[in-house]
Structures are given as C-alpha cells and as structure tokens.
Amino acid sequence: MSFEITIGWLYPKLMSTYGDRGNVICIERRSLWRGYNVKVLPLDQNTTAEDMATVDLFVGGGAQDRQQEIVMRDLQGKKAEVLREKIENGTPGVFTCGSPQLLGHYYEPGLGQRIEGLGILDMVSLHPGENTRRCIGNLVVEVTASRLAQELEEITGCKPYLIGFENHGGRTKLANVEALGRVVYGLGNNGEDGTEGAFYRNAIATYSHGPLLPKNPFVADWLIQTALQLKYQQSITLSQLDDTLAMQAREAMFKRLKVSLPAPAL
Ligand code: GLN
C-alpha cells in the first residue's frame, strides 16, 4: 500500500517569514525519501472548506502584523470551522510565531486594532508597544508537553530538545493549554515565565523559526508518523534516515550557545 500525505500550508504568500517554508520542504523531503506520496496544498483566499478537509498535516508560518490581519479577514466561516474540527480531532500541525497567535483568542499589535483569533488554543498574545524590544535570537527548548516528550523520546531514545530562532514582538500568555516546553536559552512565549509555545491535541505551536524542522528532524518525523497513523488508522514505523549532518549542526549549536544537555542527548 502506498501512503500519501497532504500538507496544508496556511497562506504561503502572507505567512512565510524567516524561512518557515523550510518546514514544508523538510516534511515533503522526509516523506518522499521514504516513498510516500506528497501533495502540498496552499491554503489561502482561494481555498474552500472542502479543500481544507483533505489536509493530513498543517504547516503555518510567521507573519507581519499587517499580514496577520489580512489572513484573519479570510480565515472565517466554514473554512475556519473545518480547521478547528481537524485540530480538535488530532490532525497534526506545526504553527510558528504569527500563526499560533491567530489560533489563540486574540493578538493585540503594538499599533492598531486587536486581531481576533480562532480561540482553538487557550492563550492570548499582545505586543507591549512599538518601543518595546523584540524577542530576537537563538532559542533552545526542552520539550515538557508530556505526551509529545514521550513520543519524541520513543523516536530518538533521548530527551527532546528543540533548537530554533525567535523573532517576535508579541508576548504570549498561556491559560488552560499545555506549554510546548521550557526555555533553556532565549525568551520563548513572553520572556518572563520560562514557557515556550503550546501543545494541543497534535498541534505544535512555537515561536521557533529556524526553520524548526530541519534543525529538529525528529519533530518532522513525529508529524509525518502522526499524520499517517491518523489517516490510515494503523501503527506506522518510519524508516531511519541519515541525519548525521543535522546532528552535527545541532551539536555545534549547543556548543556555541554553551548549553549542556543531560546524556543521552542529541
Ligand atoms: N507579528 C507577530 C509578532 O511580532 C509575529 C511575528 C512573526 O511571525 N515572526 O509577534
């Protein structure tokens, strides 16, 4: 049986800052290398609710405040409902920076009107004002969302740490939603409470650009595996790929940031 995976890429022209497109390429490549068929479906102003319903795995990138406003004017009605239902029913996804802000209750920009979000993630984001420093720099995060941490550990045999790069003005406060992880290096959700991102059903929300997945290929594999298992209702084990270069890059980054990890680590 040949498996097929449809990647739904949210608003590629409006939400693809800081190389977030790399997340789509990474999922696509790692699926193709294993012989799975891949379809990349842009989800934008031309998308219907029926298109949205065919998605097996969502990718949403970052955006400027202005673009977020345009996206939210379009992401309404039946289309938004299908997205909500799919996330609630466990369709996996990786949502970076501007897109999780839109999955929360609202995002308040430094200038201008509050942008109402979809309220799927119980959290709010606000920009403290144009004169406040943006949160910019490398990010290292220990995954603490318990089910995800356990499933990632099953893939790698190691405690999961994520490497990324953040660049955001908005500060996110979580309410009744689990954090993705604990900040080891960088600022994360708000620079105050040590949390980074959120994890809900199978949706990963994060401030990590990077792009995240090439730097943390085991997360791409978790997304692919979760998407296929949900779609085909069977247990699926992905074949091993040679990630030597990615692992060397991770090691170099941990060294550069002087982050020492408990063994076994990767
Ligand atoms: N506009 C949002 C902020 O500055 C998101 C930025 C981004 O996606 N990189 O917080």
The pLDDT value given to residue 78: 97
Closest CA to 165 of 141, 200, 144: 141
> Which of these, 30, 27, 59, 56, lies nearest to 42 by C-alpha position?
59
Shortest-distance atom of ligand 1 to CA 99: 8
CA of 167 to the centre of ligand 1 (A): 7
Given the residues 26, 135, 168, 209, select the one marked as catalytic: 209
Residue located nearest, by CA, to atom 7 of ligand 1: 62
> Annotated catalytic, 135?
no
pLDDT for 81? 97
Distance 17 CA to ligand 1 centre (A): 9
Task: List ligand 1's pocket residues with C-beta within 6 A.
Answer: 17, 62-65, 68, 97-98, 101, 127, 167-170
Helices (H) and strands (E) in the chain, counts: 9, 14
Give pLDDT, residue 261.
83
| pLDDT at res. 130 | 85
Question: What pLDDT does 29 receive?
Answer: 98
CA–CA separation, 147 and 96 (whole Å): 20
> Ligand 1 centroid to 98 CA: how many Å?
5
Helices (H), the chain: 21-32, 49-52, 65-74, 77-88, 98-103, 146-156, 212-215, 217-232, 244-256
pLDDT in tens, the chain (266 residues): 799 999 999 999 999 988 899 999 999 999 999 999 999 999 999 999 999 999 999 999 999 999 999 999 999 999 999 999 999 999 999 999 999 999 999 999 999 899 999 999 999 999 999 899 999 999 999 999 999 999 999 999 999 999 999 999 999 999 999 999 999 999 999 999 999 999 999 999 999 998 999 999 999 999 999 999 999 999 999 999 999 999 999 999 999 999 988 766 66
Residue 134 is assigned to a ligand binding site: yes
Residue 265's pLDDT is what?
Answer: 65
Give the model's pLDDT for residue 264.
63
Kindly state the tokens that stand for 178.
Answer: 């689990």
Q: What is the pLDDT of residue 1?
A: 72
